[in-house]
Amino acid sequence: MFFILFAVLVSAVFVSAADHLVTVGDGGALAFNPTSVTALEGDTVTFSFRAKNHSATQSTFAAPCNKSGIDSGFVPIAANSTLFGQWTFTVDNASAPLWFFCAQTNHCEAGMVFAVNPTQEKSFQAFLANAQGNGTAAGVSSTVAASGVVSSASAGASASASSSTSAASSTANANTASNGTPPSRRIHRIAFTLVALVFGVLL
């Protein structure tokens, strides 16, 4: 009886996180789709790169086109490829909005930006307007896929990344994860507290 109850509670914890899929450059458009997501702490965001050569590079609300944090690196995908590169990171702090752009030359200024948990005060539309209006990015063209270890992110996410030659895919996670498999589920303190309370009552 106790074991079954414990298993149910732990299972509920392990399925609590969600993965948010974002396509990058689908149909040749200079856009992330969707343009923003609302994620909880422990959720993952997976960028699926389409044809051409794009990146998912973290920036700030004030300087949308300047790198400041984690970075997928450029992920070149051939025009007729059926293999799409993927890069995933974990949201560590849901209360801190995260801002991303494509670092390819002029793509950010063209509106190729993305947000995680934008707020009413710092909305996606305001972020987009900043990107299209200030043109402060030092865009750098590249044909090299992401590899190695990326820099630590600002509050909200951190990552390491490695490339795959078969599908130009990479993964990133503040904890542990592997591309193509469900992300490891964060065990929240509140769940442990609940388990402890239940066992305290039953025992």
Lowest mean per-residue pLDDT among 16-25, 96-105, 169-178: 169-178
Average pLDDT over every residue of 116-129: 98
Average pLDDT over every residue of 154-177: 41
pLDDT of residue 134: 67
Query: For residue 15, what pLDDT band results from cuts at 50, 70 and 90?
Result: low
Euclidean distance between CA atoms 114 and 127, whole angstroms: 9
Give the other-Cβ count within 10 Å of 4's Cβ: 8
Of residues 150 and 28, more confidently modeled: 28
User: Minimal CA–CA distance to 90: which of 11, 156, 189?
Assistant: 156
Q: What is the CA radius of gyration of the chain?
A: 19
pLDDT of residue 10: 47
Residue in the structure block whose two tokens are 């865009």 = 139
Q: Is pLDDT above 90 for 28? A: yes
Lowest mean per-residue pLDDT among 18-22, 45-49, 118-122, 188-192: 188-192
Query: For residue 17, what pLDDT band results from cuts at 50, 70 and 90?
Result: confident
Give the other-Cβ count within 10 Å of 40's Cβ: 13
Q: Is pLDDT above 90 for 16? A: no
Lowest mean per-residue pLDDT among 97-101, 127-131, 160-164, 195-199: 160-164
Q: Is pLDDT above 70 for 122? A: yes
Of residues 1 and 26, more confidently modeled: 26
Q: Is pLDDT above 60 for 89? A: yes
54 forms bridges with which residues in the sheet?
75
Average pLDDT over every residue of 57-69: 97
Q: Is pLDDT above 90 for 162? A: no
pTM above 0.75, yes or no: no
Percent of the chain exceeding pLDDT 90 equals 55
User: 201: part of which helix (H) or strand (E)?
Assistant: helix 189-202
Classify domain 19-132 by CATH number.
2.60.40.420
